[in-house]
Structure 1
Amino acid sequence: MLLEEDPATLIHHTITNFNIQPDKAALSRINDSLSSLQQSRDLRFQEVENSLRKLSRQLNTLNAQHKETVESHDPARQAASIVELDTEKFRIAKAASELEIESERLEAELEALKARQAELDEQGLEGDELTRREREADDATILRLKIYRSLGIDVDTDEAGNYNKAIIRNRRKGDVHVVNIDPKFSRFFYANYFWQAMTWSWGLVFDTRPAPGSHAISSIQHQPEPDSKKLAAASKELVVASVTSDNTSWIQEQLSGWTPNVYIADAGVGAGDGENGASIISKLRLQSVSKAGYAPLRCSWVPGCPVELHPLNPIDEGPIVRKQTELAFATVFRTIFPGTEVPAEVGATCSSQFAATREQVMLRPKTDYERIRKWLMETELPDDISGRIMEYMWHIIMQKKPVYCPPAGECYCFTFGLCGLKCTAARCEKQYILPTYAAVPDGWPEKGGGKDGWPTPGWNT
């Protein structure tokens, strides 16, 4: 048995057979690993310290930049910059909208030109039968001159052969009207001017009621003289804008034969000088209005004539309200008169002062007036712009040409019976002066005046 052996022998054998070398090797490896881990930890700790110092420097830099930014911030300048950017945004949006509209118009024009080209291609170089007959007729210039002369218009040329003067004769009345042709006005303007001069001199008016199955086919006819008895019995309605503080009793006192229709527009212009307005209305020749259907109550061309607006080609001239009106006119015209071509030029005597017959007003359907009223109620345009658009829209609504500027002398004679005045095409002496400011002097015209463009009493005698 083991316990029976000598202890000394057992101890000797144990000492002899005990091997500690593997344990010593294991301890040595552990010690090496601990040393490597310590070195790796020291390196990692050093890297973290370096990164922390770097981040600390970045933090200090950013704090300094933030402090500088906060100190340099100007709220007022930022707000102004935002407003400027918003304005630019709206301007670009408006330009884009206008370009889109113009693109649609040009596309439609292109399609029409393509159709015309196809038609001409079918006709060939010689054209159709009608074209050949026209080519075989008189020279175009001679034919035009013959037409002019048949209408009572003689055209004179200067030494260079340019047409510089037109003489309009009214053989029935024995009148002669000389017009100097200025190249700064368009052919459209002069054609319209000549026509108006003839219609006002001869008592011709347009019958704009469309014939059955047609669209806006116009004829020209001599209107019969209105029956004076029927005219005297006809109702006479007077439409006047007023403000609450205005005294409109002058209508009943001085124009008892008229039915007043006074509407309150406290944000606008009031009824103004009652005595002056009554004087104008009392001179109105109702027979002339009945014959023409529509007559402006202002005969002087300034402002508004010969051309006030160029809707298709706006120009950067005149007061800002005129330029803004011109920019918006084409869009509004398409809204009010859908499907109608926007005129290149618009002109009429200002201020929306006119006389019209019931028949002339009713030439347009009720839906047209409802559409106009709807636009006025819903438009986002400022009042001074929408009002000015209507100012130069009324004569078109009343079926007149876009440029409607009767010669001043013919207008005063035809509308008010003031004949034999000394006039140019645009104005007559001692009839109207455009003041510098619109505010009427106290007591004018009996007293006051002499400044701000207002004439002194007796200026027109």
Structure 2
Amino acid sequence: MRLALRFTLLTAVFLAIVYLVLKAPIDDRLDQYGVGSYIKDKVFTSAKGAALDYLPPLPGTTGDKIIVMAKLEADDTRWVTEELADWQSAVYTVNPSTEDPDTLKTPANKGREAMAYLTYIIDNYSDLPGTIAFLHSHRDGFFSSWHTDTPSHNNVDAMRTLNLSFVEENGYVNLRCKRSPGCLEAQTHNAHVTPEVYLEVFRGTSTQINETAQAPALVGAACCAQFAVTSEQVHKRPREDYDTLRRWLLQTDEKDAKSGRVMEFLWHIIFGKEAV
């Protein structure tokens, strides 16, 4: 009996230590994926049939605005025109199998969504709508859209409640508000945007690099390449800058996952924000 009690106590102590060690990273990961709000939305809100009660409309003009995205040919993006009819849309197919003249295409299937984003800006630089939202092609889903900051990870909800006044005031707005991944202190020593990569990407652009060619030691921003900008903010750079950035994507030997991730952590700098 005494042995069983001792074993039980030792097991309890061991489990307590494991809990204390793992609590912080587990809590961080649950927060990163919005697990609590997702479960609450799916279990409680859906049961009441009140899909948007928790997301009141936010202020802002509904003026000229467009959604820009990249898609694989197999992706179904009909939700953009069907559910966000008050937005224009420019959906680029990165791997078209036919030469349909009505299909928007990128010069190459490189750099993930960044190739489509830059291609849209380059091709429409002189005639941009007032607000441009750059989105991924998935509508929702826990695993595919975990980085979309609405309770159900839903891009339709995100666009319907986007505060256009806030976008206009700030020029550039990341559509993810959670600080992880990308913003936490340990993550600003960005493994993707090293000083060498930073200088390589921005060389030949209007980005100010000092005489000793120093890049910022720290680069940090919330992930994951979904953001909104104003045309005024885009125009703070000459069109040639976006050509240069796209040329880097086209010519780099880095794999798509790497080059796309580099751009993911540079959009805020491209559109006038501090490195962190």
TM range (shorter): 0.5 to 0.7
Offset at residue 378 of structure 1 (A): 1.2
Mapped partners of 2:198, 2:166: distance in 1? 32
Mapped partners of 2:192, 2:224: distance in 1? 17
Aligned 8 A contact 2:201 2:245 in 1: no
Per the alignment, residue 244 of structure 1 pairs with: 73
Distance 1:346 1:253, change over 3 A: same
Per the alignment, residue 272 of structure 1 pairs with: 138
Offset at residue 367 of structure 1 (A): 1.4
Residue identity matched to 2:168:
S
Bigger relative CO (Cα 8 Å, ≥ 6 apart): 2
Structure 1 residue ranges (4+ consecutive) displaced by more than 6 angstroms after TM superposition: none
Mapped partners of 2:215, 2:225: distance in 1? 20
Mapped partners of 2:92, 2:195: distance in 1? 29
Per the alignment, residue 92 of structure 2 pairs with: 263
Offset at residue 260 of structure 1 (A): 0.9
Asked if residue 354 in structure 1 is aligned to residue 227 in structure 2, the reply is: yes
State which of 221, 238, 249 in structure 2 corresponds to 1:376. 249
Asked if residue 293 in structure 1 is aligned to residue 171 in structure 2, the reply is: yes
Per the alignment, residue 305 of structure 1 pairs with: 183
Instruction: Describe how 1:1-12 pairs up with structure 2 within 5 A.
Output: none
Offset at residue 342 of structure 1 (A): 1.0
TM-score normalised by structure 1 residue count: 0.33
Aligned 8 A contact 2:174 2:222 in 1: yes
State which of 240, 249, 262 in structure 2 corresponds to 1:389. 262
Distance 1:334 1:247, change over 3 A: closer
Mapped partners of 2:273, 2:260: distance in 1? 19
Secondary structure of the residue aligned to 2:216 is coil
Residue identity matched to 1:295:
V
Secondary structure of the residue aligned to 1:281 is helix
Residue identity matched to 2:227:
F
Mapped partners of 1:282, 1:336: distance in 2? 38
Mapped partners of 2:192, 2:230: distance in 1? 32
Aligned 8 A contact 2:77 2:138 in 1: no
Mapped partners of 2:84, 2:254: distance in 1? 36
Mapped partners of 2:204, 2:66: distance in 1? 25
Aligned 8 A contact 1:336 1:375 in 2: no
Render the CA deviation track for 1:54-93: whole Å, top value 9, x for unaligned. xxxxxxxxxxxxxxxxxxxxxxxxxxxxxxxxxxxxxxxx
Unaligned stretches of 5+ residues in structure 2: 1-58, 96-108, 114-135, 142-153
Mapped partners of 2:180, 2:230: distance in 1? 25
Offset at residue 241 of structure 1 (A): 1.9
Per the alignment, residue 332 of structure 1 pairs with: 200
Secondary structure of the residue aligned to 1:385 is helix
Instruction: Describe how 1:110-259 pairs up with structure 2 within 5 A.
Output: 231-232=61-62, 234-259=63-88
Offset at residue 336 of structure 1 (A): 5.5
Distance 1:274 1:235, change over 3 A: farther
Secondary structure of the residue aligned to 1:257 is coil
State which of 200, 217, 221 in structure 2 corresponds to 1:344. 217
Offset at residue 300 of structure 1 (A): 0.3
Aligned residue pairs total 163
Offset at residue 326 of structure 1 (A): 3.2
Secondary structure of the residue aligned to 1:256 is coil
Mapped partners of 1:277, 1:376: distance in 2? 26
- Higher gyration radius (CA): 1
Offset at residue 240 of structure 1 (A): 1.5
Aligned 8 A contact 1:333 1:342 in 2: no
Aligned 8 A contact 1:395 1:402 in 2: yes
Offset at residue 370 of structure 1 (A): 1.2
Instruction: Describe how 1:96-111 pairs up with structure 2 within 5 A.
Output: none
Mapped partners of 1:367, 1:386: distance in 2? 20
Per the alignment, residue 275 of structure 2 pairs with: 402
Mapped partners of 2:93, 2:155: distance in 1? 17
Per the alignment, residue 281 of structure 1 pairs with: 159
Mapped partners of 1:305, 1:296: distance in 2? 12
Aligned 8 A contact 1:336 1:372 in 2: no
Render the CA deviation track for 1:339-381: whole Å, top value 9, x for unaligned. 5141111000011111111111111111111111111111111
Mapped partners of 1:253, 1:388: distance in 2? 30
Mapped partners of 2:82, 2:227: distance in 1? 22
Secondary structure of the residue aligned to 2:194 is helix
Offset at residue 273 of structure 1 (A): 2.7
Distance 1:238 1:336, change over 3 A: farther
Mapped partners of 1:339, 1:297: distance in 2? 26
Render the CA deviation track for 1:23-55: whole Å, top value 9, x for unaligned. xxxxxxxxxxxxxxxxxxxxxxxxxxxxxxxxx
Mapped partners of 2:183, 2:192: distance in 1? 18
Mapped partners of 2:259, 2:166: distance in 1? 31
Offset at residue 335 of structure 1 (A): 2.0
Residue identity matched to 2:200:
V
Distance 1:343 1:336, change over 3 A: farther
Superposed CA RMSD in Å reads 2.5
